[in-house]
Amino acid sequence: MNNQEQSPILELKGISKRFGAVQALSEVDFEVYLNEVVGLVGDNGAGKSTLVKVIAGTYQPDSGEYLFEGQEVSVNNPREATNLGIQTVYQDLALCDNLDVVANLYLGREEMQPVIPGVLSTMDEIEMEQKAHQFIDKLHVNIPSVRSRIAILSGGQRQSVAVARAVMWNSKVVILDEPTAALGVEQTQQVKDLIVRLREQGLGVVVISHNLADIFDISDRIIVLRLGKRVATFKTHVSNPEQVVAAITGAVFGAAGNGSKKDERAGKENE
C-alpha cells in the first residue's frame, strides 16, 4: 500500500473541541486510508476519546473540517456517521447477552418475510442465519455456532462478534476502542488476526489502545495525541516503542514538553 497514491477515506482537519475550561482538542488533524490500520495512542486525557466521539458523531467540534471520501460532510449524530460507513466498537461492546450471534448481528436490521402481503410479516430466521454464517466464515471468526448465546462466548469471541456486526453493513471505516483490553493471550491474538483481515478486505481501521505491543503488531501508522494535540506520527515498520513512549510523555522534548511546534515537526519527520 502506498498512501501517497490515494486520498484518505476519512480526514479531519484542524478539529478543536472545548468543554468549559478544558480544551480537549486543539487543531487536530487526523486521517485514515483504506487498506490501513492506524494506531491512535496517548496518555489518559490526551484527547483520544474526544476525537473518536467527534468521528462517530457523538460530539460536534467547535471548529475544523470533517471529510469523507474527499468531500466535506456534516456529521451531527452517530446515525449520520453510520450512514457514511463509519462504525465504532466501544469497550462495552453493546452486545445483548441473552440473544444469540445471529440476533446480535441483525439487531435493528432484521430481515422480514411477508405472511400476508402488506398486512403481516415475520422475521426470516433462516435467511438471517445463512447470511450470518457466511459472514462469520468470511472473517474467520471462531465461535461454536451462530446460534450460540453471547453469554457463553469468551471475551475474544464476544469482541470478534462486535467487530463483525460493525463491518457487516458495508462499512468502510471501523474504529475499535481498546479491543484487546482484559483479554488473555489467545483471545488477544484472535482479535488481532481479525483486525488484520479487516485491513486485507479493504477497510480503514483505527485502533485505540494503551498496549503498544499490540499496536506495533497490527498497525501501519501510529498517531500520537498529547494534551489535546497531535504531536507525532510514526510509520510502524521504521519505528520502535521507545520513540512512541517518548512522544506520548513528551520526554524526548524535555520535562516541560507541551505539544509545541517542535513536537509536531518531530512527528512529521517520521512520516
For residues 63 and 69, the answer to whether their CB atoms sit within 8 Å is no
- Return the CATH number of 3-94+171-268, one of 3.30.565.10, 3.30.9.30, 1.10.275.10, 3.40.50.300: 3.40.50.300
CA proximity to 194, closest of 46, 244, 183, 266? 183
Distance CA(126)–CA(254), nearest Å, equals 62
Q: pLDDT tens for the chain, 271 residues: list them.
A: 445 468 999 999 999 999 999 999 999 999 999 999 999 999 999 999 999 999 999 999 999 999 999 999 999 999 999 999 999 999 889 999 999 999 999 999 999 988 888 888 899 999 999 999 999 999 999 999 999 999 999 999 999 999 999 999 889 999 999 999 989 999 999 999 999 999 999 999 999 999 999 999 999 999 999 999 999 999 999 999 999 999 999 985 433 333 333 344 344 445 4
Produce one character per residue of 73-86: b if its CB has 16 or more CB atoms within 10 Å, e if not.
eebeeeeebbebbb
Q: Which three cell numbers stand for residue 189?
A: 491474538
Question: Domain map of the chain by residue range?
Answer: 3-94+171-268
pTM value surpassing 0.85? yes
Q: Which three cell numbers stand for residue 71?
A: 468531500
